[in-house]
Amino acid sequence: MLRIAFLYFILSCSFFSYAENGVQKLFKAVNNGVVELHVKALAQPNPSQAKYEVSTSDSLGSGALISQEGRILTAAHVIERATEIEVIFADGSKTSGHVVWVDALIDLAMIQAAHVPSKIKPLTLAKSGDYNIGEQVVVIGAPYGVSHSLSVGYLSGIRDREQIPGSTLIPRFLQTDAAINKGNSGGPMFNLDGEVIGIVSYILSNTGGSNGLGFVVSIDTVHTVMDSDPGVFSGFIPQLLDEKLAKALNNPYGYGMLIQQVIPGTLADKMGFRGGNISILIEHTPMLLGGDILVSVGGYQLKDLESAVKLKQRMSTYKKGTKVEFRFLRDGEEKTAIWVVE
C-alpha cells in the first residue's frame, strides 16, 4: 500500500512539473508580444462639478501586438479618450501609438505603434471557435502597472450577448477565473498552444478586484470585427438621444447624437466640432451638455443605435475625394460641415 501511495505521489509530481514547465515555456514564447500601454486621456465628466473643464488623466492598460508593422489589439475603454499613448515593449523600449479604430459597443480597439523593435515578435491569433470550456488559459498583462504579470485559470464559460442593432454580429465573451485586475484590460488571453483566444475586457466584482469573474472578447468576435473594416476613428465620444431626452434639450428633430467630447487631432477635431461643458447626471449616467448635436451624416439621420451602427459601416466605404455633409445643431442653430475623405 505504501509503495502504491509513493508511486502515485511520484506520478502526481511529474504531472504538475510538466504542467508548470508548459506554462513557463508558453510565457517565454509569447511574453514579448504583450505590450503595456500608458495613456493620457480626456477626463470623464464628473457630475459633482457643474462646469466641465477640459483636462486629462493618466490610465494604463495592456495590448497584444499582432503584426510586425505595429498593429496592436486592446480594449476600447483603455484608449477611446486617448490624447497620448505610450507603448512599452517587453525589452523596455518605448514608442508612441495612435488610435486606428474603436468599437465601443464591443470594447475592442486597434492602435498603431510608431516603431516595433526587431526582436519583438507578434502574437498568433487562434482560429474562431478554437477553445473549449474547461481548458486551461493564461492571461498576461500589467495589473496595477506591474508589467508582464502572468495569471493562470480556466475558461469557465461562453457568454453571447444580444445581436448589435444594424448588424449581424452577436458579440461573444469568454469567462475565466484567471486573475484580472486594473491594467490587464486590453491584454491577451492565451490557450496552452500560445495562441490568443481573447482580449481582456472587464470583471464582475463587488470590490473591483480579481476575486470576481473575468470576461474577454472572444477570438471569434475579434476576427469578425477586424474583417468588417471598422473604418477611421472619428474622435467623437457620443451620447445617442432618444425622443424624450431630445425634447428635454429643445432639439426639434427629436433624435441625434449629443457630442460629449472631441478627441484632439481626430477627424471630429479637424472639422471643428465641439464637446459639452456642463456636467450632469441623468438616470445614473454622467453626461456633458452644451456640445454639438449631430443629426445626419451624408443624408442619413442618426435616429437610434441601429442607424448609428449602419452609419459607421457606411463611413468605411466612402472613396477618397468623396464629400460628406455633416448636419448638426449648435446653440439651437442648424449648421453644416463638409468632410472630404482622404
pLDDT digits (tens, 9 = 90+) for 120-130: 999 999 999 99
- In this predicted structure, what is the pLDDT of residue 212? 63
- In this predicted structure, what is the pLDDT of residue 206? 59
Question: Would you say residue 290 has pLDDT above 60?
Answer: yes
Tell me if domain 1-228 and domain 236-340 are identical in fold: no
Question: What's the rounded mean pLDDT across residues 305-317?
Answer: 87
CA angle 282, 288, 294 (to 5 degrees): 105
Q: Report the DSSP pairing between strands 94-103 and 82-88.
A: antiparallel
Question: What's the rounded mean pLDDT across residues 7-22?
Answer: 52
pLDDT digit string (tens) for 146-168? 889 999 999 999 999 999 888 88
- In this predicted structure, what is the pLDDT of residue 205? 64
Dihedral angle over CA of 319, 322, 327, 328, nearest 10: 70
Q: Report the DSSP pairing between strands 149-160 and 136-141.
A: antiparallel
Other C-beta atoms closer than 10 Å to the C-beta of 302 total 23
Residue 112, Cα to own-chain centre: how many angstroms?
A: 14
Domain 1-228 - what CATH class? Answer: mainly beta
Q: What rounded mean pLDDT belongs to the chain? A: 89
pLDDT above 70 as % of the chain: 92
**CA 260 to CA 288: how far, in whole Å?**
5
Q: Report the DSSP pairing between strands 300-301 and 293-297.
A: antiparallel
How buried is 338 (Cβ within 10 angstroms: 0-12 exposed, 13-18 middle, 19+ buried)?
Answer: exposed
Residue 16's pLDDT band (cuts 50, 70, 90) = very low
pLDDT digit string (tens) for 193-219? 999 999 999 887 655 555 568 999 999
pLDDT digit string (tens) for 257-274? 999 999 999 999 999 999
Residue 21, C-alpha cell as written in the block: 514547465
pLDDT digit string (tens) for 78-97? 999 999 999 999 999 999 99
How buried is 231 (Cβ within 10 angstroms: 0-12 exposed, 13-18 middle, 19+ buried)?
Answer: middle
Which residue has better confidence, 213 or 329? 329
Question: Would you say residue 20 has pLDDT above 50?
Answer: yes
Catalytic residues: 77, 107, 185
Q: Contact, 24 vs 178, CB < 8 A?
A: no
Residue 228, C-alpha cell as written in the block: 468588417
Question: Would you say residue 10 has pLDDT above 90?
Answer: no
- In this predicted structure, what is the pLDDT of residue 15? 46
Which residue has better confidence, 181 or 64? 64
84: Cβ–Cβ under 8 A, 6 or more apart, which residues?
Answer: 39, 40, 56, 96
How buried is 17 (Cβ within 10 angstroms: 0-12 exposed, 13-18 middle, 19+ buried)?
Answer: exposed
- In this predicted structure, what is the pLDDT of residue 111? 97
Residue linked to cell 472630404: 340
One-letter amino acid of 121: K
Question: Would you say residue 102 has pLDDT above 50?
Answer: yes
Residue 12, Cα to own-chain centre: how many angstroms?
A: 41
Domain ranges of the chain: 1-228, 236-340
Q: Contact, 190 vs 26, CB < 8 A?
A: yes
Q: What dotted CATH number matches 236-340?
A: 2.30.42.10
188: Cβ–Cβ under 8 A, 6 or more apart, which residues?
Answer: 30, 33, 34, 62, 64, 73, 123, 139, 140, 141, 196, 198, 199, 200
Closest of 166, 301, 312 to residue 236, by C-alpha: 312
One-letter amino acid of 49: Q
